[in-house]
Amino acid sequence: MSAKIVVGYDGSEASNRALEFAVERAREEGGSIVVAHVLEWSAYSFLTPSELEERHKRRNEELARAKEALMDPVVAKLADSGVTVETAIKYGHIANTLSDICKDGASQIVIGRDGDNNLGARIFGSVAGSLAQTAPVPCTIVP
């Protein structure tokens, strides 16, 4: 069975390290990778009436921007890596949504961390921290 590795990707250096790591594993195991980008979103947030009206339009714009600025370059870069690359752009809570993407037949998930030990992360937790605890598949955190 060929392994499918999900990589959390946001264009940051840390996520690029995670991507490299995942590509290497996938090449060794003859697997594929899913480059996943999650746009932070809550269905329980509050918007003004004019934001509601434009939401669908903005969403399309955001998706297009994420595809152009993040996904297309990655796909181009990995075109001759010898690994099959899929992409996923989703809305939602970042850790939960990445977990949901894994449920679609992934064998493991790889994410990067920036190693910051800042106050925000201490109080609210980090994506890497939550995934380490909640991911439905083995989770590799690349420093």
Partner 1 sequence: MFRNLTYAASAAAGLALTSAPAMAQTLDEKVNEMFANSTGWFVNFIFSPFPGTTFPWIVMWLVVAATVFTVYFGFIQFRAFAHSISLVKGDYSDPNDAGEVSHFQALATALSGTVGLGNIAGVAVAVGIGGPGATFWMILAGLMGMASKFTECTLGVKYRNEYEDGTVSGGPMYYLTKGFAERGVPGGKILAVMFSIFCILGAFGGGNMFQANQAHAQISGVVGDYPGWITGIVFAGVVFAVIVGGLKSIAKVTEKVVPFMGVMYVLAALVILLMNADKIGWAFGQIFNGAFTGAGVAGGMVGALIQGFKRAAFSNEAGVGSAAIAHSAVRTKEPITEGFVSLLEPFIDTVVICTMTALVIIITGQLLQDPNTGLYMLDEGGATIQTIDGNKGVALTSAAFSSAFGWFKYVLAIAVILFAFSTMISWSYYGLKAWTYLFGEGHTKELVFKVIFCIFVVIGAAANLGPVIDFSDAAIFAMAVVNIFGLYFLMPIVKAELESYLSRLKSGEIKKYV
Residue closest to 71 by CA, chosen among 87, 84, 59: 87
Q: Name the CA dihedral angle for 100, 111, 85, 2, rounded to a multiple of 10 degrees.
A: -80
Least Å distance, CB 7 to partner 1, is 20
Binding test (CB under 8 A) with partner 1, winner from 3, 17, 29, 91 = 91
Specify the stretch interacting with partner 1 by CB under 8 A; choose among 2-10, 90-98, 110-118, 135-143.
90-98
Based on the shown chain and the rule CB under 8 A, indicate whether residue 124 belongs to the binding site for partner 1. no
Based on the shown chain and the rule CB under 8 A, indicate whether residue 103 belongs to the binding site for partner 1. no
Measured on CA atoms in the order 141, 24, 103, 96, is the torsion positive or negative? positive
Q: Pick between residue 55 and residue 77 the one whose CB is nearest to partner 1.
A: 55
Residues 29-68 that bind partner 1 (CB under 8 A): 39, 41, 43-57, 59-60, 62-63
Q: CA of 10: how far to CAs of 48, 56, 119, 134, in Å?
A: 28, 22, 21, 20
Least Å distance, CB 121 to partner 1, is 22
Vertex 65: Cα angle to 37 and 49 (nearest 5): 95
E strands in 43-104 = 84-92
Give the residues lining the site for partner 1 (CB under 8 A). 39, 41, 43-57, 59-60, 62-63, 90-92, 97, 100
